[in-house]
Protein backbone atom coordinates (compact mmCIF):
# COMPACT_ATOMS: atom_id res chain seq x y z
CA UNK A 1 0.00 0.00 0.00
CA UNK A 2 1.46 3.34 -0.98
CA UNK A 3 1.14 6.59 0.90
CA UNK A 4 0.99 9.84 -0.96
CA UNK A 5 2.94 12.52 0.91
CA UNK A 6 1.22 15.88 1.12
CA UNK A 7 1.77 18.64 3.60
CA UNK A 8 1.12 22.22 4.55
CA UNK A 9 0.50 25.23 2.41
CA UNK A 10 2.08 28.35 3.64
CA UNK A 11 -1.32 29.63 4.81
CA UNK A 12 -0.78 27.33 7.73
CA UNK A 13 -3.76 25.06 7.64
CA UNK A 14 -2.16 21.73 8.02
CA UNK A 15 -3.91 18.95 6.32
CA UNK A 16 -2.44 15.62 5.62
CA UNK A 17 -4.36 12.95 3.76
CA UNK A 18 -3.24 9.41 3.33
CA UNK A 19 -4.75 7.77 0.34
CA UNK A 20 -4.62 4.14 -0.50
CA UNK A 21 -3.86 3.27 -4.08
CA UNK A 22 -6.43 0.73 -5.10
CA UNK A 23 -4.94 -2.40 -6.47
CA UNK A 24 -6.15 -3.52 -9.86
CA UNK A 25 -5.77 -7.15 -9.18
CA UNK A 26 -7.76 -8.17 -6.16
CA UNK A 27 -6.94 -11.83 -6.58
CA UNK A 28 -3.39 -11.47 -5.29
CA UNK A 29 -2.83 -13.07 -1.96
CA UNK A 30 -0.44 -10.25 -0.99
CA UNK A 31 -1.02 -7.51 1.56
CA UNK A 32 -4.49 -6.09 1.84
CA UNK A 33 -5.37 -2.44 1.86
CA UNK A 34 -6.79 -2.08 5.31
CA UNK A 35 -6.06 1.44 6.45
CA UNK A 36 -8.39 3.99 5.02
CA UNK A 37 -8.45 7.76 5.48
CA UNK A 38 -10.05 8.62 8.77
CA UNK A 39 -11.14 12.15 7.98
CA UNK A 40 -12.48 11.16 4.63
CA UNK A 41 -16.04 11.94 3.79
CA UNK A 42 -17.60 10.71 0.59
CA UNK A 43 -18.05 14.26 -0.59
CA UNK A 44 -14.31 14.90 -0.43
CA UNK A 45 -14.22 13.13 -3.76
CA UNK A 46 -16.58 15.72 -5.16
CA UNK A 47 -15.40 17.69 -8.10
CA UNK A 48 -17.48 19.66 -10.48
CA UNK A 49 -20.83 18.16 -11.11
CA UNK A 50 -21.34 17.15 -14.70
CA UNK A 51 -23.67 19.31 -16.73
CA UNK A 52 -26.95 17.57 -16.97
CA UNK A 53 -27.76 16.50 -20.43
CA UNK A 54 -29.75 13.61 -21.67
CA UNK A 55 -26.89 11.17 -21.85
CA UNK A 56 -25.67 12.06 -18.40
CA UNK A 57 -29.20 11.69 -17.13
CA UNK A 58 -29.51 8.29 -18.69
CA UNK A 59 -26.19 7.34 -17.20
CA UNK A 60 -27.33 8.64 -13.87
CA UNK A 61 -30.46 6.59 -13.90
CA UNK A 62 -28.62 3.52 -15.03
CA UNK A 63 -26.13 3.95 -12.28
CA UNK A 64 -28.86 4.28 -9.73
CA UNK A 65 -30.67 1.16 -10.69
CA UNK A 66 -27.65 -1.11 -10.82
CA UNK A 67 -26.44 0.31 -7.54
CA UNK A 68 -29.79 -0.45 -5.96
CA UNK A 69 -29.80 -4.06 -7.04
CA UNK A 70 -26.15 -4.56 -6.22
CA UNK A 71 -26.61 -3.02 -2.84
CA UNK A 72 -29.59 -5.21 -2.18
CA UNK A 73 -27.74 -8.35 -3.18
CA UNK A 74 -24.74 -7.44 -1.12
CA UNK A 75 -26.70 -6.50 1.95
CA UNK A 76 -27.61 -10.08 2.30
CA UNK A 77 -23.99 -11.16 2.34
CA UNK A 78 -22.70 -8.68 4.87
CA UNK A 79 -24.11 -7.87 8.26
CA UNK A 80 -25.03 -4.22 8.56
CA UNK A 81 -23.43 -3.97 12.02
CA UNK A 82 -19.91 -4.03 10.66
CA UNK A 83 -20.53 -1.35 8.08
CA UNK A 84 -21.43 1.50 10.33
CA UNK A 85 -18.38 3.63 10.96
CA UNK A 86 -18.95 7.35 11.25
CA UNK A 87 -22.48 6.88 9.99
CA UNK A 88 -21.19 5.79 6.59
CA UNK A 89 -22.67 2.73 5.07
CA UNK A 90 -20.11 0.80 3.19
CA UNK A 91 -18.94 -2.46 1.78
CA UNK A 92 -16.00 -4.65 2.61
CA UNK A 93 -14.23 -5.72 -0.56
CA UNK A 94 -11.16 -7.95 -0.41
CA UNK A 95 -9.13 -4.78 -0.99
CA UNK A 96 -10.64 -2.86 1.89
CA UNK A 97 -13.60 -0.90 3.04
CA UNK A 98 -15.40 1.36 0.58
CA UNK A 99 -18.03 3.82 1.75
CA UNK A 100 -21.20 4.38 -0.14
CA UNK A 101 -22.40 7.74 -1.34
CA UNK A 102 -25.80 8.85 -2.48
CA UNK A 103 -24.59 11.70 -4.56
CA UNK A 104 -23.24 11.16 -8.02
CA UNK A 105 -20.16 13.32 -8.41
CA UNK A 106 -17.53 13.09 -11.05
CA UNK A 107 -13.97 13.65 -9.91
CA UNK A 108 -12.63 16.46 -12.00
CA UNK A 109 -9.17 17.94 -11.90
CA UNK A 110 -10.33 21.27 -13.23
CA UNK A 111 -11.41 22.27 -9.75
CA UNK A 112 -8.39 23.89 -8.11
CA UNK A 113 -9.73 23.73 -4.58
CA UNK A 114 -9.27 20.02 -4.36
CA UNK A 115 -5.74 19.88 -5.74
CA UNK A 116 -3.22 18.35 -3.39
CA UNK A 117 -1.31 21.34 -1.99
CA UNK A 118 2.41 21.89 -2.43
CA UNK A 119 4.84 21.64 0.44
CA UNK A 120 7.48 24.30 0.88
CA UNK A 121 9.76 25.49 3.66
CA UNK A 122 11.47 28.55 2.17
CA UNK A 123 9.61 31.32 0.41
CA UNK A 124 10.74 32.72 -2.94
CA UNK A 125 13.31 34.93 -1.17
CA UNK A 126 14.89 32.14 0.81
CA UNK A 127 13.22 33.09 4.06
CA UNK A 128 11.82 30.40 6.34
CA UNK A 129 8.05 30.36 6.24
CA UNK A 130 6.74 30.55 9.80
CA UNK A 131 4.81 27.43 10.69
CA UNK A 132 1.40 27.77 12.23
CA UNK A 133 0.66 25.05 14.71
CA UNK A 134 4.17 23.68 14.87
CA UNK A 135 3.64 20.22 13.54
CA UNK A 136 1.60 18.03 11.28
CA UNK A 137 0.25 14.62 11.78
CA UNK A 138 -0.09 12.46 8.80
CA UNK A 139 -1.21 9.34 10.47
CA UNK A 140 1.83 7.26 9.95
CA UNK A 141 4.60 9.78 10.51
CA UNK A 142 5.44 12.95 12.34
CA UNK A 143 6.51 15.78 10.13
CA UNK A 144 8.07 18.41 12.28
CA UNK A 145 7.85 21.85 10.87
CA UNK A 146 9.52 23.99 13.47
CA UNK A 147 11.26 27.29 12.95
CA UNK A 148 14.49 25.36 12.44
CA UNK A 149 14.22 22.65 9.83
CA UNK A 150 16.02 19.40 10.54
CA UNK A 151 19.27 20.35 8.86
CA UNK A 152 22.66 21.32 10.24
CA UNK A 153 24.85 24.15 9.00
CA UNK A 154 27.37 21.63 7.75
CA UNK A 155 24.78 19.76 5.70
CA UNK A 156 23.24 22.98 4.39
CA UNK A 157 26.61 24.30 3.26
CA UNK A 158 27.56 21.06 1.61
CA UNK A 159 24.21 21.05 -0.20
CA UNK A 160 24.73 24.59 -1.37
CA UNK A 161 28.28 23.93 -2.53
CA UNK A 162 27.24 20.91 -4.55
CA UNK A 163 24.37 22.81 -6.15
CA UNK A 164 26.83 25.49 -7.23
CA UNK A 165 29.30 22.92 -8.53
CA UNK A 166 26.51 21.28 -10.47
CA UNK A 167 25.63 24.61 -12.07
CA UNK A 168 29.25 25.29 -13.03
CA UNK A 169 29.72 21.74 -14.31
CA UNK A 170 26.61 21.99 -16.45
CA UNK A 171 27.66 25.32 -17.93
CA UNK A 172 31.13 24.15 -18.88
CA UNK A 173 30.20 20.73 -20.23
CA UNK A 174 27.37 22.27 -22.23
CA UNK A 175 29.82 24.72 -23.75
CA UNK A 176 32.21 21.88 -24.48
CA UNK A 177 29.48 20.11 -26.42
CA UNK A 178 28.73 23.26 -28.36
CA UNK A 179 32.40 23.48 -29.22
CA UNK A 180 32.30 19.96 -30.62
CA UNK A 181 34.48 18.40 -27.92
CA UNK A 182 31.62 16.29 -26.59
CA UNK A 183 29.02 14.59 -28.71
CA UNK A 184 26.14 15.15 -26.31
CA UNK A 185 25.24 16.68 -22.95
CA UNK A 186 22.20 17.17 -20.76
CA UNK A 187 21.92 19.82 -18.01
CA UNK A 188 20.06 19.92 -14.70
CA UNK A 189 19.56 23.66 -14.90
CA UNK A 190 16.63 24.71 -12.76
CA UNK A 191 16.46 21.33 -11.04
CA UNK A 192 19.64 21.44 -8.98
CA UNK A 193 17.81 21.39 -5.67
CA UNK A 194 16.07 18.13 -6.43
CA UNK A 195 19.01 15.84 -7.00
CA UNK A 196 21.35 17.39 -4.45
CA UNK A 197 18.91 17.90 -1.59
CA UNK A 198 17.32 14.49 -2.12
CA UNK A 199 20.75 12.86 -2.01
CA UNK A 200 21.49 14.75 1.19
CA UNK A 201 18.42 13.25 2.81
CA UNK A 202 19.41 9.68 1.96
CA UNK A 203 22.06 7.36 3.34
CA UNK A 204 24.92 5.98 1.26
CA UNK A 205 23.30 2.53 1.38
CA UNK A 206 20.17 3.73 -0.36
CA UNK A 207 20.23 2.54 -3.94
CA UNK A 208 19.62 5.23 -6.56
CA UNK A 209 18.15 4.37 -9.95
CA UNK A 210 18.29 7.59 -11.94
CA UNK A 211 16.70 8.71 -15.17
CA UNK A 212 19.44 10.99 -16.48
CA UNK A 213 18.96 14.41 -14.85
CA UNK A 214 20.34 13.54 -11.44
CA UNK A 215 24.12 13.90 -11.47
CA UNK A 216 23.60 15.99 -8.32
CA UNK A 217 23.25 12.71 -6.46
CA UNK A 218 26.65 11.59 -7.68
CA UNK A 219 28.19 14.93 -6.76
CA UNK A 220 26.82 14.64 -3.26
CA UNK A 221 28.12 11.11 -2.89
CA UNK A 222 31.63 12.06 -3.98
CA UNK A 223 31.93 11.45 -7.71
CA UNK A 224 34.75 13.71 -8.80
CA UNK A 225 34.69 16.22 -11.64
CA UNK A 226 37.38 14.17 -13.30
CA UNK A 227 35.22 11.03 -13.12
CA UNK A 228 32.36 12.93 -14.78
CA UNK A 229 34.71 14.15 -17.50
CA UNK A 230 36.11 10.66 -18.07
CA UNK A 231 32.66 9.28 -18.77
CA UNK A 232 31.75 12.17 -21.06
CA UNK A 233 34.91 11.70 -23.08
CA UNK A 234 34.65 7.92 -23.05
CA UNK A 235 38.31 7.38 -22.24
CA UNK A 236 39.96 4.38 -20.65
CA UNK A 237 39.39 5.66 -17.12
CA UNK A 238 35.64 5.83 -17.66
CA UNK A 239 33.93 3.29 -15.42
CA UNK A 240 31.70 2.54 -18.39
CA UNK A 241 34.73 1.85 -20.56
CA UNK A 242 33.56 4.21 -23.24
CA UNK A 243 30.53 2.14 -24.06
CA UNK A 244 27.85 4.78 -23.67
CA UNK A 245 27.02 8.35 -24.65
CA UNK A 246 27.93 11.20 -22.30
CA UNK A 247 25.92 11.68 -19.07
CA UNK A 248 25.30 7.92 -18.78
CA UNK A 249 27.18 7.80 -15.50
CA UNK A 250 27.17 4.79 -13.19
CA UNK A 251 28.96 3.88 -10.00
CA UNK A 252 28.60 0.65 -8.12
CA UNK A 253 30.51 1.92 -5.12
CA UNK A 254 28.26 4.95 -4.79
CA UNK A 255 25.11 2.82 -5.21
CA UNK A 256 24.11 4.72 -8.34
CA UNK A 257 22.86 2.56 -11.18
CA UNK A 258 24.25 3.24 -14.62
CA UNK A 259 21.98 5.55 -16.57
CA UNK A 260 19.96 3.81 -19.28
CA UNK A 261 18.36 5.73 -22.12
CA UNK A 262 14.86 4.24 -22.55
CA UNK A 263 12.43 6.22 -20.41
CA UNK A 264 10.76 4.88 -17.31
CA UNK A 265 12.31 1.40 -17.51
CA UNK A 266 13.98 2.10 -14.18
CA UNK A 267 10.60 2.42 -12.44
CA UNK A 268 9.52 -1.22 -12.29
CA UNK A 269 13.17 -2.18 -11.98
CA UNK A 270 13.33 -0.06 -8.83
CA UNK A 271 10.44 -2.04 -7.42
CA UNK A 272 12.45 -5.17 -8.17
CA UNK A 273 15.58 -3.85 -6.47
CA UNK A 274 13.48 -2.84 -3.49
CA UNK A 275 12.06 -6.35 -3.37
CA UNK A 276 15.60 -7.69 -3.27
CA UNK A 277 16.50 -5.25 -0.47
CA UNK A 278 13.44 -6.34 1.43
CA UNK A 279 14.50 -9.98 1.10
CA UNK A 280 17.90 -9.00 2.41
CA UNK A 281 16.20 -7.17 5.29
CA UNK A 282 18.53 -4.27 4.71
CA UNK A 283 18.03 -0.89 6.38
CA UNK A 284 17.94 0.86 3.06
CA UNK A 285 15.53 1.88 0.38
CA UNK A 286 15.59 2.41 -3.36
CA UNK A 287 15.08 5.88 -4.81
CA UNK A 288 14.17 6.21 -8.44
CA UNK A 289 13.84 9.47 -10.34
CA UNK A 290 11.87 10.21 -13.47
CA UNK A 291 10.29 13.17 -15.19
CA UNK A 292 6.60 13.84 -15.60
CA UNK A 293 6.86 12.78 -19.23
CA UNK A 294 8.01 9.33 -18.22
CA UNK A 295 5.01 9.00 -15.96
CA UNK A 296 2.97 8.46 -19.11
CA UNK A 297 4.76 5.21 -19.75
CA UNK A 298 3.08 1.92 -18.92
CA UNK A 299 6.13 1.00 -16.87
CA UNK A 300 5.26 3.79 -14.43
CA UNK A 301 1.90 2.36 -13.58
CA UNK A 302 3.16 -1.21 -13.33
CA UNK A 303 6.10 -0.24 -11.14
CA UNK A 304 3.99 1.65 -8.62
CA UNK A 305 1.31 -1.00 -8.59
CA UNK A 306 3.75 -3.79 -8.01
CA UNK A 307 5.70 -1.95 -5.32
CA UNK A 308 2.45 -1.35 -3.49
CA UNK A 309 1.43 -4.98 -3.77
CA UNK A 310 4.78 -6.34 -2.60
CA UNK A 311 5.15 -3.59 0.05
CA UNK A 312 8.69 -2.81 -0.98
CA UNK A 313 10.78 0.15 0.27
CA UNK A 314 11.03 2.39 -2.75
CA UNK A 315 10.71 6.14 -3.26
CA UNK A 316 9.31 7.10 -6.63
CA UNK A 317 10.44 10.66 -7.22
CA UNK A 318 8.78 12.50 -10.06
CA UNK A 319 10.52 15.65 -11.31
CA UNK A 320 7.42 17.40 -12.50
CA UNK A 321 8.74 20.09 -14.57
CA UNK A 322 5.31 20.95 -15.70
CA UNK A 323 2.28 19.70 -5.78
CA UNK A 324 3.14 18.34 -3.93
CA UNK A 325 6.65 19.51 -3.02
CA UNK A 326 8.19 22.71 -4.23
CA UNK A 327 11.14 21.18 -6.05
CA UNK A 328 12.93 24.51 -6.19
CA UNK A 329 13.06 24.72 -2.39
CA UNK A 330 16.08 22.77 -1.26
CA UNK A 331 14.90 22.49 2.32
CA UNK A 332 11.48 21.23 1.30
CA UNK A 333 13.13 18.61 -0.88
CA UNK A 334 15.41 17.58 1.96
CA UNK A 335 12.61 17.34 4.52
CA UNK A 336 10.24 15.47 2.28
CA UNK A 337 12.77 12.88 1.21
CA UNK A 338 13.87 12.38 4.82
CA UNK A 339 10.29 11.75 5.84
CA UNK A 340 9.50 9.61 2.83
CA UNK A 341 12.56 7.48 3.43
CA UNK A 342 11.45 6.87 7.02
CA UNK A 343 8.16 5.49 5.78
CA UNK A 344 9.76 3.38 3.09
CA UNK A 345 12.35 1.79 5.30
CA UNK A 346 10.53 1.54 8.62
CA UNK A 347 7.21 0.49 7.23
CA UNK A 348 8.21 -1.12 3.96
CA UNK A 349 5.74 1.03 2.06
CA UNK A 350 6.52 2.62 -1.30
CA UNK A 351 6.08 6.38 -1.47
CA UNK A 352 5.44 8.62 -4.44
CA UNK A 353 6.90 12.10 -4.14
CA UNK A 354 6.22 14.71 -6.75
CA UNK A 355 8.60 17.66 -7.02
CA UNK A 356 7.19 20.65 -8.85
CA UNK A 357 9.97 22.38 -10.66
CA UNK A 358 10.91 24.01 -13.95
CA UNK A 359 13.48 22.78 -16.40
CA UNK A 360 15.32 25.96 -17.33
CA UNK A 361 17.73 24.36 -19.79
CA UNK A 362 16.86 22.67 -23.05
CA UNK A 363 16.02 18.99 -22.74
CA UNK A 364 19.50 18.22 -24.03
CA UNK A 365 22.03 19.47 -26.53
CA UNK A 366 19.81 17.96 -29.23
CA UNK A 367 16.95 20.24 -28.30
CA UNK A 368 16.04 23.89 -28.80
CA UNK A 369 13.24 24.42 -26.34
CA UNK A 370 12.48 27.94 -27.55
CA UNK A 371 10.63 26.15 -30.32
CA UNK A 372 7.94 24.99 -27.95
CA UNK A 373 7.92 27.50 -25.11
CA UNK A 374 8.21 31.28 -24.78
CA UNK A 375 11.66 32.70 -24.14
CA UNK A 376 10.45 35.09 -21.46
CA UNK A 377 9.01 32.18 -19.51
CA UNK A 378 12.46 30.57 -19.46
CA UNK A 379 14.10 33.85 -18.47
CA UNK A 380 11.61 34.39 -15.65
CA UNK A 381 12.25 31.05 -14.02
CA UNK A 382 15.97 31.37 -14.49
CA UNK A 383 16.14 34.79 -12.88
CA UNK A 384 13.31 34.86 -10.35
CA UNK A 385 12.67 31.26 -9.31
CA UNK A 386 16.18 29.88 -9.29
CA UNK A 387 16.61 27.19 -6.62
CA UNK A 388 20.29 27.89 -6.12
CA UNK A 389 19.76 31.62 -5.53
CA UNK A 390 16.91 30.93 -3.18
CA UNK A 391 18.91 28.57 -1.06
CA UNK A 392 21.84 30.97 -1.19
CA UNK A 393 19.73 33.71 0.35
CA UNK A 394 18.78 31.46 3.22
CA UNK A 395 22.33 30.28 3.82
CA UNK A 396 23.66 33.85 3.65
CA UNK A 397 20.83 35.04 5.85
CA UNK A 398 22.04 32.66 8.52
CA UNK A 399 25.51 34.11 8.30
CA UNK A 400 26.97 30.86 6.97
CA UNK A 401 28.04 32.13 3.55
CA UNK A 402 29.18 35.30 1.87
CA UNK A 403 30.00 36.84 -1.49
CA UNK A 404 33.69 36.17 -1.13
CA UNK A 405 33.24 32.47 -0.57
CA UNK A 406 30.77 32.37 -3.47
CA UNK A 407 33.15 33.76 -6.05
CA UNK A 408 35.98 31.64 -4.69
CA UNK A 409 33.91 28.45 -4.99
CA UNK A 410 32.78 29.26 -8.51
CA UNK A 411 36.20 30.14 -9.82
CA UNK A 412 37.85 27.19 -8.08
CA UNK A 413 35.27 24.80 -9.50
CA UNK A 414 35.63 26.30 -12.95
CA UNK A 415 39.37 25.86 -12.79
CA UNK A 416 39.08 22.25 -11.61
CA UNK A 417 36.63 21.48 -14.37
CA UNK A 418 38.78 22.94 -17.09
CA UNK A 419 41.72 20.93 -15.80
CA UNK A 420 39.55 17.81 -15.62
CA UNK A 421 38.35 18.31 -19.17
CA UNK A 422 41.83 18.86 -20.50
CA UNK A 423 43.13 15.80 -18.71
CA UNK A 424 40.17 13.63 -19.71
CA UNK A 425 40.37 14.73 -23.31
CA UNK A 426 44.03 13.78 -23.46
CA UNK A 427 43.55 10.42 -21.76
CA UNK A 428 43.70 7.42 -24.01
CA UNK A 429 40.49 5.83 -25.17
CA UNK A 430 39.74 2.29 -23.98
CA UNK A 431 41.70 -0.40 -25.81
CA UNK A 432 40.22 -2.59 -28.51
CA UNK A 433 39.65 -5.63 -26.33
CA UNK A 434 37.18 -3.63 -24.23
CA UNK A 435 34.79 -3.72 -27.14
CA UNK A 436 34.42 -7.46 -26.75
CA UNK A 437 34.32 -7.76 -22.95
CA UNK A 438 31.29 -7.80 -20.66
CA UNK A 439 28.84 -8.91 -23.34
CA UNK A 440 28.62 -11.95 -21.16
CA UNK A 441 30.10 -12.70 -17.77
CA UNK A 442 32.89 -14.63 -19.53
CA UNK A 443 34.05 -13.68 -23.00
CA UNK A 444 32.90 -16.46 -25.36
CA UNK A 445 35.18 -18.02 -27.94
CA UNK A 446 33.51 -16.41 -30.94
CA UNK A 447 34.19 -12.93 -29.56
CA UNK A 448 37.78 -13.81 -28.79
CA UNK A 449 38.14 -14.96 -32.40
CA UNK A 450 36.58 -11.77 -33.70
CA UNK A 451 38.95 -9.77 -31.57
CA UNK A 452 41.90 -11.65 -33.00
CA UNK A 453 40.66 -11.18 -36.55
CA UNK A 454 40.22 -7.47 -35.96
CA UNK A 455 43.72 -7.20 -34.49
CA UNK A 456 45.16 -8.88 -37.57
CA UNK A 457 43.17 -6.62 -39.86
CA UNK A 458 44.43 -3.50 -38.09
CA UNK A 459 48.02 -4.72 -38.27
CA UNK A 460 47.75 -5.26 -42.01
CA UNK A 461 45.91 -2.03 -42.79
CA UNK A 462 46.89 0.47 -40.11
CA UNK A 463 45.97 3.42 -42.28
CA UNK A 464 42.31 2.43 -42.23
CA UNK A 465 41.94 2.59 -38.46
CA UNK A 466 42.19 5.42 -35.88
CA UNK A 467 45.71 5.59 -34.58
CA UNK A 468 44.76 6.65 -31.06
CA UNK A 469 42.94 3.46 -30.11
CA UNK A 470 45.28 1.05 -28.36
CA UNK A 471 44.94 -2.34 -29.97
Q: Which window, 27-35, 83-91, 315-323, 372-380, contacts another protein (CB under 8 A)?
A: 27-35
Whole-angstrom Cα distance, residue 128 to residue 137? Answer: 20
Rounded to the nearest 5°, which phi and psi values hold at 455?
Answer: -60, -45
Question: Using CB under 8 A, which of 437, 443, 451, 469 touches another protein?
Answer: 437
For the question of residue 41 being annotated catalytic, the response is no
For the question of residue 379 being annotated catalytic, the response is no
309 in contact with another protein (CB under 8 A): yes
DSSP class per residue in 384-412: HS-HHHHHHHHHHHTTS--HHHHHHHHHH
What is the smallest separation between the CB atom of 273 and another protein, expressed in angstroms?
4
| Number of neighbouring beta carbons within 10 Å of residue 418 | 14
For the question of residue 110 being annotated catalytic, the response is no
> Which candidate, 414, 193, 211, 406, places its Cα nearest to that of 293?
211
262 in contact with another protein (CB under 8 A): yes
Whole-angstrom Cα distance, residue 86 to residue 69? Answer: 24
> Which candidate, 103, 131, 111, 104, places its Cα nearest to that of 119?
131
32 in contact with another protein (CB under 8 A): no
* Contact string 179-218 vs another protein (x = CB under 8 A): ----------------------------x-x---------
269 in contact with another protein (CB under 8 A): yes
Query: Between residues 117 and 293, which has the closer beta carbon with respect to another protein?
Result: 293
For the question of residue 175 being annotated catalytic, the response is yes
Is residue 13 within 8 Å of residue 71, measured between CB atoms? Answer: no
Instruction: Spot the catalytic one: 34, 39, 146, 175.
Output: 175
What ranges in 348-444 are assigned the alpha helix state H? Answer: 375-384, 387-397, 403-426
221 in contact with another protein (CB under 8 A): no
What is the smallest separation between the CB atom of 29 and another protein, expressed in angstroms?
6
Is residue 447 within 8 Å of residue 439, measured between CB atoms? Answer: yes
Question: Using CB under 8 A, which of 42, 47, 117, 250 touches another protein?
Answer: 250
Cβ-proximal residues to 341 (8 Å cutoff; 6+ apart), any chain: 201, 202, 206, 285, 287, 315
- Catalytic residue ranges: 175, 261, 363-364
- Which positions touch another protein (CB under 8 A)? 24-25, 27-30, 207, 209, 238-241, 243-244, 248, 250-252, 257-258, 260-262, 265-277, 279, 298-299, 301-303, 305-306, 309-310, 434, 437-441, 444, 446
Amino acid sequence: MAIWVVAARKSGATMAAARCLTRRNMVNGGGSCSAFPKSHSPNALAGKKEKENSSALLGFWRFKSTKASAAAAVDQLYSSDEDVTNNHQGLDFPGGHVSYTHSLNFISNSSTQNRVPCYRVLDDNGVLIPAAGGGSNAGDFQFHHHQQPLISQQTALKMYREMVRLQVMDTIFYEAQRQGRLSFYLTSTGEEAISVAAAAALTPDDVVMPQYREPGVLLWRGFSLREFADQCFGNKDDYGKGRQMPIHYGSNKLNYFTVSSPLATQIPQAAGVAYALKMEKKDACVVTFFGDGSSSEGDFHAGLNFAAVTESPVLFVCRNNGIRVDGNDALAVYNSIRAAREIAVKQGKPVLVEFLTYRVGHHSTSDDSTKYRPVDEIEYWKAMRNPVNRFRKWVEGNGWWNEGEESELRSATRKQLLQAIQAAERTEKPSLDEMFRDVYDETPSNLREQHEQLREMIKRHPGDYPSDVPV
